[in-house]
Structure 1
């Protein structure tokens, strides 16, 4: 047995999954899959696991390397290999197994344990390196560092075409930490990629959100599902619904516009804004493109600094007064705009007397030197209020910030790094 273990180890070192799988096929004499717990199949094919296997992985009970899991109705035997310093697991799914076969298969598989542990160790080390490089790439790409993204991606083995345009989709869950669903997020997106002709780039997790980089639809190889962008929209929305239902949570998605690879950080920020737009409207489980954010997307089109300038120009004196006097004028203005200046409803929402709301309305009009009965004035003020909420949510503008227009440059550049988080 020791000699056979060494032979399998040598095969694993020299030939990887294919060589090890071919040797295991000879000694097990049963159909089997070699898969990792993050939803990747390495033998007989290097593809994302099927939906069936992914569901089994998701609901596997806890068991040790010295134990096994047997599904009698499927005649499926599952063996596990793990490492003390890693959460990643390697699983051997052996099918067509009768209960009487289990002991013999356990003995046979024991000879392969050393080789399987080596294989798992190699996957863990590669995964750690990819994670490290990916974090560097995303930090450089999305935190405003002026470096060529395509070069950084190529260094990590992620092949993107600099002549092609891409967009970013960000995925987040407010109910639970994204790390708790990271494995299934990656596995399900990988499966979607494989199912639809690899239309999306490998899913990533960064700063507590899922990140998916998608190429322009027209450049995807011909396939019925890629005839137009609406198809991809439906595919992604269906994935969002299925994933949310499976984990009993509300998953929100924000998608940026298409940009050249070197400007991918713009799509990231647009996707980030789409998420903030939904959150500040107190929505959950939404699916929103940046261009569906209405006038807000137009205001942010000139960049964060121009959006900040718009906000300060429209609301500056009001913000300064509110901060100095704790007057709640901004909150009052927002509710007045949302209720079409219904003083009674606004008073009820704020738990104040209706005369207090009338006084505040007069004070707002005095500070802004604007006629609040003018529809154009109301329109611009509501847009400014929404822009401010989004800037706060994106950690560019601190909540309750008080300052003069002269401090715009300092505040903007102080918040540029935060927008990436």
Structure 2
């Protein structure tokens, strides 16, 4: 026997479809005279949702109490907040009543009628379905923009995403977790990324991709020169730091963010590759929880602005003999050189890292000098080798031409 729907459910659903969650909040407000908040499963606020400023971005989320577990509702006596669960799985939502006296808890739980609960459940269930549908189209968009740029993208873009325009500059950004086995729900985080930047009137396109998020940023620029407003870039980077901190608080996961430079859509794959390089190189430097711009990598910005084949030839001409020797003799000369340079030519520290004697390290360095016909004591040689190794490692980490290099 089917459960009969509440008498007011049709009216509530009609109001929800026409006016959204504010209609349900107004309905509940007739009997509940305390502030009402609607959030999703991880505490992202969907009502009230007022325009924010960069200094207010943290208020996108509320911290849900761990004591909720599988209970239908939970009352936090210290904060005087009531949390009532609606729905299940990724479509779960919470109705939160703030500043509620404990004497009003039972009365308030009853006042949240079945019709309102059903309407809220319906809203978040459909929101999740919409996210999944949008994700499919955005995945296709990223594939065309970044991985199939050699085909005529103009023939494919319009059916996929009509808001993008060919004559305007865009920027690609990459977000990755610092932990190897992250439990971040990237699809859900992609949706929240959209809302995060919408609070500052920026319509970006974030897409979950291979345990990361790739985002397309429409830029602010001068119409006559197409130059990007430097203040816009500062704002984006500043909000990158804020968003990084929000993710750490909500998901208890550290992330890093890298930005490419700006290009039109025909060349946007270059911005994506620059973001990948900025991410990989900064990780190779041992950093975490960073926000890095490709344009702010110093000498490496100039170096990685060269085409990939030029970089391959550079690394092979500089390090090729070491690579050949290591492969033929099952040796570790390149790794030895890498550690020595990363440790600022500290012989004792390098020997300890490699678990070898300092004399063995001295022998290896002499062998490196012999193979490469260099004097390792000069600053010019050390700088050249340091740069070559970082370029080599970055190409490997990003996968650029890795099969050709091995």
Q: TM-score, normalised by structure 2?
A: 0.78
Structure 2 partner of 1:94? 97
1:206 maps to which of 200, 204, 209: 209
Structure 1 partner of 2:87? 82
Matched, 1:68 2:73: yes
Q: Secondary structure at the match of 2:172?
A: strand
Q: Secondary structure at the match of 1:55?
A: coil
The 1:17–1:153 alpha-carbon spacing in structure 2 relative to 1, beyond 3 Å, is farther
Quick check: 2:219–2:232 contact (8 Å CA) kept in 1?
A: no
2:274 maps to which of 270, 275, 284: 270
Matched, 1:326 2:330: yes
Matched, 1:143 2:147: yes
Q: How far apart are 1:129 and its partner, in Å?
A: 0.5
Alignment RMSD: 4.0
Matched, 1:237 2:241: yes
Ranges in structure 1 where 5+ consecutive residues have no aligned partner: 402-406, 412-421
Structure 2 distance, partners of 1:237, 1:42, is: 23
Q: How far apart are 1:364 and its partner, in Å?
A: 2.6
1:385 maps to which of 375, 384, 389: 389
Ranges in structure 2 where 5+ consecutive residues have no aligned partner: 224-228
Quick check: 1:140–1:146 contact (8 Å CA) kept in 2?
A: no
After superposition, residues 325-364 of structure 1 pair within 5 angstroms as 325-337=329-341, 346-364=350-368
Q: How far apart are 1:50 and its partner, in Å?
A: 7.2
Q: How far apart are 1:177 and its partner, in Å?
A: 4.3
Structure 2 distance, partners of 1:167, 1:178, is: 26
Q: How far apart are 1:378 and its partner, in Å?
A: 3.7
Q: Secondary structure at the match of 1:87?
A: helix
Structure 1 distance, partners of 2:153, 2:82, is: 44
Q: Secondary structure at the match of 1:253?
A: strand
The 1:204–1:72 alpha-carbon spacing in structure 2 relative to 1, beyond 3 Å, is farther
Matched, 1:395 2:399: yes
Structure 1 distance, partners of 2:378, 2:286, is: 28
Quick check: 1:172–1:178 contact (8 Å CA) kept in 2?
A: no
Structure 1 partner of 2:226? none
Matched pairs, number: 393
Quick check: 2:44–2:61 contact (8 Å CA) kept in 1?
A: no
* Residues 319-348 of structure 1, C-alpha deviations (whole Å, 9 max, x = no match): 112111112121233345456766666545
Structure 2 distance, partners of 1:27, 1:156, is: 46
Structure 1 distance, partners of 2:341, 2:180, is: 34
1:298 maps to which of 302, 318, 325: 302
* Residues 176-198 of structure 1, C-alpha deviations (whole Å, 9 max, x = no match): 64443758955875565255x32
Bigger mean CA deviation after superposition, 232-241 or 21-30? 21-30
Quick check: 1:130–1:156 contact (8 Å CA) kept in 2?
A: no
